[in-house]
Amino acid sequence: MERSPSKRRDVLPEGWWSAETCWSLDPDECTFELSDEAKARIETCHAFLLSKAGQGDVLYGINTGFGDLATTVVEDLRGLQRNLLISHACGVGEPLPQEVVRMMLLLKVKGLSQGHSGVALTTVQRLLDHWNANVFPVVPEQGSLGASGDLAPLAHMVLPLIGMGEVKMPDGRRLPSGEALAELGWEPLELGPKEGLALINGTQMMLGMGMVALKRIGRLAGWADAVGAWSLEAWNGLEAAMHPSIHAVRNHAGAILSSHNIRAWIAGSARVAQPRSYVQDPYSFRCMPQVHGASRDVLEGVRTVFEAEMNAVTDNPLVFPEEDLIVSGGNFHGQPLALAMDRLALAVHEWASMSERRTFKMLSGQRGLPAFLAADPGLNSGYMIPQYTAASLVSHNKQLCTPSSADNADSSNGQEDHVSMGANGALKMWKVLGHAEQVLAIEAMCAAQASDFRSSDVAMAPALAGLQTSFREVVPFLEKDAVMAPLMAAAKSWLVSNDPHQAGAAC
C-alpha cells in the first residue's frame, strides 16, 4: 500500500516513553518505522530463541502447550502458535473504541521492540504496518481476566496477521481480514516459535484503555475546577475557602493546585467580592479544593503506574540473550493496573459526586435564584429533571466503583488461580468517566442559567464570562421548558471537545 504523501515519516521514539510521548504519536499525521537499534534487538533475540528451540530443550509456550497443558510437549511449533491465536479469540460484546485499539497496537509494538520476546522482525513490522495504514483490528471489549494479560482481546487484535478476524479500513468499512490483506497486497504471516504467545500475553488492552482515559481525565480535572468556580460565583458563594494559607498548612499538592485554579477562574469577579451575611458555604462548594485535589493526587499516582507499564515487557516467557536465559515469570499479570483502574474510577466518581451536589444547591431557590432555575417556576420545571439524571449517573457510578481487583476466578484447571480482573476494571472506569463528563456538563448548564439570572447584577469574573459566552454558542438560556436531552448532549459535547482555558479565558 502506498504511503500517503501528506504524512511525515519518522522513527518510532526509543527509550522511556512518557504519557505525552504516547499521545503525540498519530497515524493520521505520521508513518513510523523501527529504529536500527530496535531492529537489532529484535533480530538478536529472535535468533537466540530459534537456536534454543532447535536444541531440544522443553521450553514453555515454545514447544509445550499453554496454561495447564504446559507439561505437554508439542512438535508442530508453527501450528501451535496459530492454534493459540484461534483458540483464544473468545471475546464478546461491543467492539472497543478504535482509539483504544490504536493505543493497544502501539503499546504492543513498544513492548516487543525491546528485544525480550523472541518474535521475528517481520511480525513486529506487520503490526506497525497496520498502524501506518490506519487499518485496525475489530476487538470485542469483554473476555479478559487480566491474568496472563489480556488474552482474548489481544488474540482478536493479532488475528489479522494470519489473515483471520476482522479489521476496520481507513474509509470506515469493516472487512474480513483475508479480504483486507488482499486489498492491501499483504500476505498472511506464518508465526514461528513463541510468536503467538508473545503477541497475546501482555496488558495492552487494559493499559490502552487507561492511557486514552488518562488524557480525558486530565481534561476533566481542569473542567471540575472551572465549572465548580462557575457555580461558586453563580450561587453567590464565598472565596475564603480557597485562600492559599488554608491549603499550605495541609500541604497536599492536588488541593493546592485546585484552590489556585479556582481562585484564577474567579479573579476579578465583582459578584464574588460582594459582602455577604453568611460566613460558610456547604461542603460541595467550600471543600472543592480538598475533594478535587484528592482526585488529582490519585491521577498523578496512576500516571506513574501507567508510564512504568507502558515501558515494560509484559509477555512470557522472557528471553535474555546476553544471559543465555529463557525464563517463565508473571509480568503479564495485570494487578498493578487493576488496582490503578479501581482508584482511577473512584477518583473520577468523586468529581461527579461533588458536581451533582452543587447542581442540587443551585436548584434550591436560595441566594436570590428562582426554584429549579426556571423563568416561571410552577408552569416551568426548569432544570429539575436534569438533576435527576445527574443523580442517577452518580448513583450508577457508586455501583461501578466496587473494586474489580477484589474479585478472583480460578482458570486453566487451577494453573491460573489468581487473576486481576484489570480489564473489567478498565471497562468500568471508562463508563464512570463518561458519566462524570455528563454530570459536569449538566452542572455547566445550571451555572450558565444561574449566571444569566444575575445578568443585571455586578460583573462576572472575566475568565468565567469567557466560558459563559462560549457555552451560550451551543446551549441557549432556558426561557421556558424544552426537550432537555439534546441540550444535555450538546453541553457534554462542548465540554469533552474543549480545553476549559481555550473555551473561556486563560488562567
As separate numbers, helices (DSSP H) first and strands (DSSP E) second, the chain gives 19, 9
The pLDDT score that the predictor gives to residue 164 is 97
The pLDDT score that the predictor gives to residue 7 is 81
CA distance linking residue 65 with residue 160, whole number of Å: 23
**278: annotated active-site residue:** no
Q: What angle do CA 146, 151, 153 make, to 5 degrees?
A: 95
Q: Is 54 helix (H, G, I), strand (E, B) or coil?
A: coil
Per the residue annotation, which of 60, 278, 283, 383 is the catalytic one? 60
The whole-angstrom distance between residue 249's C-alpha and the CA centroid of its chain comes to 33
Say what the pTM is.
0.94
Q: Give the DSSP letter string of 340-406.
A: HHHHHHHHHHHHHHHHHHHHHHHTSS-TT--GGG-SSBTTB-TTHHHHHHHHHHHHHHHHHTS-GGG
Which amino acid, 504? Answer: G
Q: CA gyration radius for the chain?
A: 26
178 neighbors 163 (Cβ within 8 angstroms): yes
Nine cell digits for residue 500: 476549559
The pLDDT score that the predictor gives to residue 193 is 87
CA distance linking residue 13 with residue 424, whole number of Å: 30
**Nearest C-alpha neighbor of 261 from the set 216, 295, 310, 227:** 227
Residues paired with residue 137 on neighbouring β-strands, in sequence order? 167
**Nearest C-alpha neighbor of 283 from the set 205, 348, 226, 361:** 361
CA distance linking residue 53 with residue 37, whole number of Å: 24
Nine cell digits for residue 365: 431557590
**Nearest C-alpha neighbor of 248 from the set 295, 301, 284, 293:** 293
Helix (H) or strand (E) holding 422: helix 422-453
Per-residue pLDDT of the chain (507 residues), as tens digits, is 344 557 888 999 999 999 999 999 998 888 999 999 999 999 999 999 988 887 877 777 777 766 666 667 766 777 888 888 999 999 999 999 999 999 999 999 999 999 999 999 999 999 999 999 999 999 999 999 988 889 999 999 999 999 999 999 999 999 999 999 999 999 999 998 889 999 999 999 999 999 999 999 999 999 999 999 999 999 999 999 999 999 999 999 999 999 999 999 999 999 999 999 999 999 999 999 999 999 999 999 999 999 999 999 999 999 999 999 999 999 999 999 999 999 999 999 999 999 999 999 999 999 999 999 999 999 999 999 999 999 999 999 999 999 989 988 878 777 777 888 899 999 999 999 999 999 999 999 999 999 999 877 789 999 999 999 999 999 999 999 999 999 999 999 999 999 998 776 533
DSSP state of 238: -
CA distance linking residue 78 with residue 312, whole number of Å: 27
The pLDDT score that the predictor gives to residue 494 is 97
Read off φ and ψ for residue 250, nearest 5 degrees: -100, -35
The pLDDT score that the predictor gives to residue 78 is 78
The pLDDT score that the predictor gives to residue 442 is 98
CA distance linking residue 447 with residue 232, whole number of Å: 8
Between β-strands 136-137 and 174-176, what pairing exists: parallel, antiparallel or unpaired? unpaired
Residue keyed to cell 488474552? 151
The pLDDT score that the predictor gives to residue 416 is 74
CA distance linking residue 269 with residue 238, whole number of Å: 11
